[in-house]
Amino acid sequence: MFSEAVVALFNLILSKLNSKKPVYNVGQRLYSRTKRNALFLEKEIFVNEIKHFRVSIEGSPIKKAVILSENALQNDQYKALENKSKTETLL
């Protein structure tokens, strides 16, 4: 029983270490297939020690301040795009 608990704990630690979370930086263009949106990260903001980003939504006719947390970007599966031609292809 004790060995099963140790193995389960070891597997949990390994799964946390092996899971790759995307790193977001100011100036990146992101795209989400689930939301079908392209974003541009404008500014990094810390609120209660949680990283947030001010973003602009590409293709939106209205410019408004949108702030999303890093966790929200991960949940919506936003991925970084290297160049604009890829963004135009996906949209």
| Beta strands 66-69 and 37-47, pairing class | unpaired
pLDDT at position 44 is 93
Q: Which two tokens stand for residue 63?
A: 């410019």
For the stretch 30-75, pLDDT in tens is 998 888 888 899 999 999 988 999 999 888 888 887 899 998 998 8
Q: Structure pTM? A: 0.65
Reduced DSSP (H G I as helix, E B as strand, rest coil) percent helix, strand, coil of the chain, to 5: 35, 35, 35
Contact 91, 59 (CB under 8 A): yes
Fold entry, domain 24-90: SH3 type barrels. (2.30.30)
Domain parsing of the chain, residue ranges: 24-90
pLDDT higher than threshold 50 for residue 2:
yes
Across 79-89, average pLDDT: 64
